C-alpha cells in the first residue's frame, strides 16, 4: 500500500471513529431514537459491514454501541433491517457470480478465436454472443 493510500485510510478511520463517538452523545442519541424509522434503514448496511469486518477495533466497538442503541429503541425495525441486509448481500453475491461467469464465457470464446484470427462480437446479452466468420477484428471494431 502506498503512503498516500495509507494516509487516506487513516483519515477515513478517524472520521468514522469521531462520527461513532458523536452518535453516543445523549442529545444525538435522543434524535436518533426519535427518527429511527428513517435513519436505521439508511445506515444499517454501513453499521453491519463495520461490525463484520472493519480493520479497526475501536470502530467495530463503537459501531456495536450504535447498533445497540437502535436495537434497544426498536427491535422490530432492527430485525427488518437485518433481514433486508442479508437478502441484499445474497443478491449481490449472485450478481457477482453471474458477472464472473459471463466474463469467463466471454474470455473462453475470445481465447478460442485468437488462433483463427476471427472477430468476436458481443451484444448486451450473454445469450447472443456471435462469432463473425471471415471478418477482420479491425473491420468489426470500426463497424
How confident is the model over 37-86, as pLDDT tens digits? Answer: 999 999 999 999 989 988 888 888 889 989 999 999 999 999 999 999 99
**Comparing 119 with 48, which gets the higher pLDDT?**
48
Give me the pLDDT at residue 89, please: 95
Burial of 81 by CB count in 10 Å (0-12 exposed, 13-18 middle, 19+ buried)?
buried
The C-alpha atoms of residue 101 and residue 109 are separated, in whole angstroms, by 12
Among all chains, which residue has been given the C-alpha cell 433481514? Answer: 83
For 16-20, 33-37, 131-135, which range has the lowest pLDDT when averaged over its residues? 131-135
Residue 35: band (very low, low, confident or very high) from pLDDT cuts 50, 70, 90: very high
Give the Cβ contact number of residue 62 at 10 Å.
Answer: 22
Amino acid at each position: 500500500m502506498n503512503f498516500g493510500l495509507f494516509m487516506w485510510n487513516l483519515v477515513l478511520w478517524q472520521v468514522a471513529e469521531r462520527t461513532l463517538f458523536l452518535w453516543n452523545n445523549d442529545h444525538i442519541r435522543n434524535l436518533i431514537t426519535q427518527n429511527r424509522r428513517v435513519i436505521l434503514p439508511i445506515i444499517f448496511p454501513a453499521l453491519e459491514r463495520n461490525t463484520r469486518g472493519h480493520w479497526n477495533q475501536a470502530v467495530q466497538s463503537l459501531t456495536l454501541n450504535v447498533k445497540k442503541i437502535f436495537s434497544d429503541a426498536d427491535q422490530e425495525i432492527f430485525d427488518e433491517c437485518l433481514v433486508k441486509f442479508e437478502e441484499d448481500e445474497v443478491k449481490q453475491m449472485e450478481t457477482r457470480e453471474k458477472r464472473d461467469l459471463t466474463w469467463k464465457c466471454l474470455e473462453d470464446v475470445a481465447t478460442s478465436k485468437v488462433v483463427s484470427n476471427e472477430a468476436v462480437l458481443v451484444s448486451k446479452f450473454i445469450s447472443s454472443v456471435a462469432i463473425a466468420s471471415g471478418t477482420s477484428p479491425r473491420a468489426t471494431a470500426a463497424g
